[in-house]
Amino acid sequence: MKNLYYIAIEGVIGVGKTSLAKLLAERLNAKLVLEKFEENPFLEDFYWDKERFAFQTQLWFLLSRYRQQQELQQVDLFHRLLMTDYMFVKDRLFAFINLDDKELALYEKIADLLERDIPEPDLVIYLQADTERLMQNIRDRGRSYESHITPDYIDSLNQVYNQYFLQYKEGPLLIINATEIDFVHNPDDLEELIQTIRQPITGTKFYNPSKK
């Protein structure tokens, strides 16, 4: 990992993490690692009945992401840059919202053991958008199991994510206001974003593009 620069992209459901990771990996010749959310057998049931399926869903994600993070440390002779569309800590943020007190206590005991072996990103990109924009993005991509996601749930995630990243001190952090930009369909937005990422970043940097 010391010869590999590791960028992790984070944000709430629907903000465009995977889309940006794919675009950046192509432009910057990075090894791309995407979370495998579609393989979670409990995810669709969770959106139907959160209380019943929350713990199974969270535990599956925790173990799946742990296994994937371990694989990140394998030597890659063809890339100097690694790009992921999530951070390992994201599972804790969702667990805080989705689990009751007893479930969360058990979850955290397991997560504490696993986190000891997780590599830290060299740069974190936090895509931030308001709840209205996130809900529109979720509707536009049309995943059937996401049709049950409510604005209240997205708003709760937004609050937890914002609180976490406003206190983030683990390394360089780029916070991007993604409410008013469209890096998927607007090449100018993507180019400005890439130029911002290419600049040396220390501490926390905010990127707040003006409305077009």
The whole-number pLDDT of residue 146 equals 87
Q: Which two tokens stand for residue 40?
A: 């979670």
Secondary structure (H, E, C), the chain: CCCCEEEEEEECCCCCHHHHHHHHHHHHCCEEECCCHHHCCCHHHHHHCHHHHHHHHHHHHHHHHHHHHHHHCCCCCCCCEEEECCCCCHHHHHHHHHCCHHHHHHHHHHHHHHHCCCCCCCEEEEEECCHHHHHHHHHHHCCHHHHHCCHHHHHHHHHHHHHHHHCCCCCCEEEEECCCCCCCCCHHHHHHHHHHHHCCCCCEEEECCCCC
Structure token pair of residue 86 = 């999530």
Report whether 179 contacts 133 (CB < 8 A).
yes
pLDDT for 211: 54
| pLDDT at residue 4 in the model | 58
pLDDT at residue 1, rounded to an integer: 35
Distance CA 107, CA 189 (A): 39
List the pLDDT tens digit at each of the 212 positions of the chain: 345 589 999 999 999 999 999 999 999 889 899 998 889 999 999 988 989 999 999 999 999 999 988 887 665 656 788 999 999 999 999 999 999 999 999 999 999 999 988 888 999 999 999 999 999 999 998 888 888 899 999 999 999 999 999 999 999 999 999 998 889 889 999 999 899 888 888 899 999 886 54
Q: Where are the domains of the chain?
A: 5-17+26-207
Q: Residue 2's pLDDT is what?
A: 42
pLDDT at 105: 97
Alpha-carbon gap, residue 161 to 130, rounded angstroms: 12
Is pTM beyond 0.75 here? yes
Tell me the β-bridge partners of 83.
7, 32
Residue indicated by tokens 């220390």: 202
Beta carbons of 43 and 110 less than 8 angstroms apart: no
Give the pLDDT of residue 147: 85
Which residue in 87, 190, 28 sits closest to 207, CA to CA? 190
User: Could you tell me if 121 and 165 are in contact, meaning their C-beta atoms sit under 8 angstroms apart?
Assistant: no
Least Cα distance to 62 among 19, 15, 11, 96 occurs for 96
Residues facing residue 7 across a β-bridge: 83, 123
**Which tokens hold the place of 32?**
């791309």
| CATH number at 5-17+26-207 | 3.40.50.300
